[in-house]
Amino acid sequence: MPRLITGLDARRIAANLERVREEVGEHVQILAAVKYVPLEEFDVLREAGLTLLGENRAQELEAKATAYPDFTWHFIGQLQSRKVKQILPHVTLIHSVASESALKQLAAHGTPETEILLEVNVAGEADKAGIRPDELPRYLEQSPCKVVGLMTMPPYAAAPEDSRPYFARLKELADEHGLEQLSMGTSQDYAIAAAEGATIVRIGTSLYT
């Protein structure tokens, strides 16, 4: 099991945040992924100037967002339909809608103004979540909520540059359907993602270490 990230230093995080900002530009939102950051470190995150946080797990999101409602919260993990109701009160955006069952739960518990991203499996990996690119029109038509953009996780790559074609393809899909938000890029490849049109980058270790 991965270890929790503790002993954070606000000055170091602030410096890392500024460095990432310079690399991605002012137009890109920097989301701090806090899956492995315990609650006792959140005052340090605030001191460092972070404002947008993302959590992967519904139960942890509920606990953290309840304790720190002054942050803006996104859900960035694999979305289980039975967790939709639990997540919705705490987030301004869900990054990972990728099933018809999730759409049904959003219809039951969300509103037409609830903002979501559709997760697209651009590479067609069998073991990874996300809808196929050819399913995108159907999901857009059926969504009971406001689809503001797309999200993807490219295949694991040793070199950040290897992720570029997948980010470029997601940008193409977004443009084809008039979608503005693109959540793509993590600690290892956020600069490439930003160059290919990301509007949100999801960063963990690059901010904390």
pLDDT at 2 over 70: no
The reply to whether the predicted model has a pTM over 0.85 is yes
Question: What would the pLDDT profile of 72-130 be if each residue is shown by its tens digit?
Answer: 999 999 999 999 999 999 999 999 999 999 999 999 999 999 999 999 999 999 888 99
Mean pLDDT of the residues in the chain: 96
Under the banding of pLDDT at 50, 70 and 90, the label for residue 179 is: very high
pLDDT at 3 over 90: no
* CATH topology (fold) of 10-208: TIM Barrel (3.20.20)
Secondary structure (3-state) at 202: strand
Q: Is 161 exposed, middle or buried (0-12, 13-18, 19+ CB in 10 A)?
A: exposed
What's the pLDDT score for residue 1? Answer: 52
Domain ranges in the chain are 10-208
Non-local CB neighbours of 3 within 8 Å, separated by 6+ positions: 36
